[in-house]
Amino acid sequence: MDTSFNHLTRRNFVKCLAAGSISVPILMKGLMQNLMAAELDTRPPIIWLKGQTSGIHSAGIWNFPEFPGFLDRFFRIMPPSDINRDFLQSDDSEVASSHILILEGLFTDDPDDILNALIKDFVVVSRVVILLGNDAAYGKHVPEGFMDTERNLLHHVETPYLKLPGAPAHPRHLLGVLNHLVLYGLPELDIFRRPALFFSDNICERCEYRSDFETGHFVRYHGEKEGCLYLLGCKGPVTKNTCPIEKWNGTSSWCVAVGSPCTGCSEPAYPVHGGLGMYGQLSSRDASINSFFVRHLETIAKGTAVLTAAGIATHAISKRASSPIKGQRMPTLEDEDE
Ligand code: SF4
Ligand code: SF4
């Protein structure tokens, strides 16, 4: 089977990737074939520097059992303790100067630390830099003693870079971007420098509960089985990512499908979301929802906050809610004319 993707035009490759119709194993094979075709397999041309990290990105990678073995074989994954000047000055300097550099986590800002200088040198000689995961991509809450990766390493150099955010970042995003880089160069980026092919559509647009969202069929409490999770604080309306089609755990499921609202983990606003937090409900205006039901939900929610405190679940329009909560009137079409 030809998995080199050479038979695909760039447009079709991007379309297939965006639609989620190329699996992780196929992306791995494609990358392998193209790396080998470029005769760069003797020394992996992809260098992955891991800084201080929670390891959350590894969690995403372990979701796909084939991935770690593939990484070991074709990537040069280096913890800070292994980073040294020898690699930059080795006989393989041609390879070193054409490598794709992945930066994950946070790195020291101590100018006297050899690691600090080496990373700057690595960035300058790289063909392209990928900032993997939220720490590297967004640089928020950087603790004392560490760099904001983008501002301190990339703003003042010509090396192109892109971001693959998320908690965790999705392995398919990494593989898709690497394939694109090898075959066609830098993909189109959005305003946050994320690849547009993965970060163009809101989660809601491809969510299985989209019709529930529009028709006002909302889940009222955690554990209720069917319906849209908007009332539980789902950030799907303001989050661009591919989770509904790519899923997690080896493509078996994703957050909303198992009843957990999307927390917008790949957005720059995560986890604060303008003060709402991960589970605060978006206003209908922020969610840009043109729905009669949702326009009235904020009114309903104000009343239900008191009821919820008393142990009564949030009130909403739902097949499971056979009648409105006593004493509270549901919106009617006449309300629209007021
Ligand atoms: S708000 Fe959440 S659950 Fe509802 S349609 Fe959007 S992504 Fe799906
Ligand atoms: S559904 Fe939302 S919270 Fe879940 S992984 Fe995707 S972007 Fe993150």
CATH code, domain carrying 27 = 3.40.50.700
Q: Is residue 144 part of a domain?
A: yes
Q: Is residue 63 part of a domain?
A: yes
Please say if the pLDDT value at position 331 is more than 50: no
Of 121-125, 159-163, 250-254, give the range with the top mean pLDDT: 159-163
pLDDT band per the 50, 70, 90 thresholds, residue 273? very high
164 & 313 share domain: no
* Atom of ligand 2 lying closest to residue 263 CA: 3
Q: Which of 122, 149, 184 is the last residue of a domain?
A: 184
pLDDT band per the 50, 70, 90 thresholds, residue 99? confident
Cβ atoms within 10 Å, residue 56: 17
Find the ligand nearest to 270 CA.
2
Cβ atoms within 10 Å, residue 237: 21
Question: Which residues, in sequence order, are bridge partners of residue 218?
Answer: 228
pLDDT of residue 308: 38
Give the C-alpha separation, 105 to 146, whole Å: 10
Question: Which residues, in sequence order, are bridge partners of residue 164?
Answer: 132
Give the C-alpha separation, 133 to 115, whole Å: 20
CB within 8 A of 15, min separation 6: which ones? none
Q: Which of 154, 184, 214 is the last residue of a domain?
A: 184
pLDDT band per the 50, 70, 90 thresholds, residue 94? low
Q: Which residues does a 6 A CB cutoff place in the pocket of ligand 1?
A: 203-204, 207, 209-210, 213, 228-230, 234, 236-237, 256, 262
Lowest mean pLDDT: which of 115-129, 219-233, 253-267? Answer: 115-129
Ligand 2, atom 1: closest residue by C-alpha? 262
Q: Is residue 317 part of a domain?
A: yes
Q: Is residue 328 part of a domain?
A: yes
Q: Is residue 174 part of a domain?
A: yes
Q: Is the dihedral of CA 14, 20, 21, 25 positive or negative?
A: positive
Q: When comparing pLDDT for 13 and 70, which is higher?
A: 13
100 & 170 share domain: yes
129 & 168 share domain: yes
Give the C-alpha separation, 69 to 65, whole Å: 8
CA of 4 to the centre of ligand 1 (A): 36
Ligand 1, atom 5: closest residue by C-alpha? 210
Ligand 2 pocket, mutate which of 203, 230, 262 (most atoms under 8 A from CB)? 262
Give the C-alpha separation, 49 to 324, whole Å: 56
Ligand 2, atom 2: closest residue by C-alpha? 262
List the beta strands (DSSP E) in the chain.
Answer: 46-50, 75-78, 100-104, 128-132, 161-164
Give the C-alpha separation, 266 to 261, whole Å: 14
pLDDT of residue 329: 34
Give the C-alpha separation, 6 to 246, whole Å: 23
17 & 155 share domain: yes
Give the pLDDT confidence of 118-154 residue by residue, as tens digits. Answer: 888 889 888 899 999 999 999 878 889 999 999 999 9
Q: Is 97 helix (H, G, I), strand (E, B) or coil?
A: coil
Question: Which residues, in sequence order, are bridge partners of residue 269?
Answer: none
Q: Is residue 103 part of a domain?
A: yes
The CATH number assigned to the domain holding 300 equals 4.10.480.10
CA of 165 to the centre of ligand 1 (A): 20
State how many domains the chain has.
2
39 & 170 share domain: yes
Q: Which of 157, 184, 211 is the last residue of a domain?
A: 184
Domain range holding 172?
A: 10-184
Q: Is residue 135 part of a domain?
A: yes
176 & 262 share domain: no
41 & 167 share domain: yes
Q: Is 241 exposed, middle or buried (0-12, 13-18, 19+ CB in 10 A)?
A: buried
Nearest C-alpha neighbor of 27 from the set 67, 87, 83? 67
CB within 8 A of 159, min separation 6: which ones? 123, 124, 126, 127, 128, 129
* Atom of ligand 2 lying closest to residue 256 CA: 1
217 & 259 share domain: yes
CB 103 within 8 A of CB 132: yes
160 & 68 share domain: yes
CA of 18 to the centre of ligand 2 (A): 16
232 & 169 share domain: no
22 & 160 share domain: yes
Is the peptide bond preceding residue 271 cis, with omega within 30 degrees of 0?
yes
273 & 241 share domain: yes
Is the peptide bond preceding residue 261 cis, with omega within 30 degrees of 0?
no
Calculate mean pLDDT across residues 183-198.
Answer: 94
What pTM value is reported for the model?
Answer: 0.81
Give the C-alpha separation, 31 to 175, whole Å: 8
Q: Is residue 189 part of a domain?
A: no
Angle, CA of 251, 140 and 154, to the nearest 5°: 90
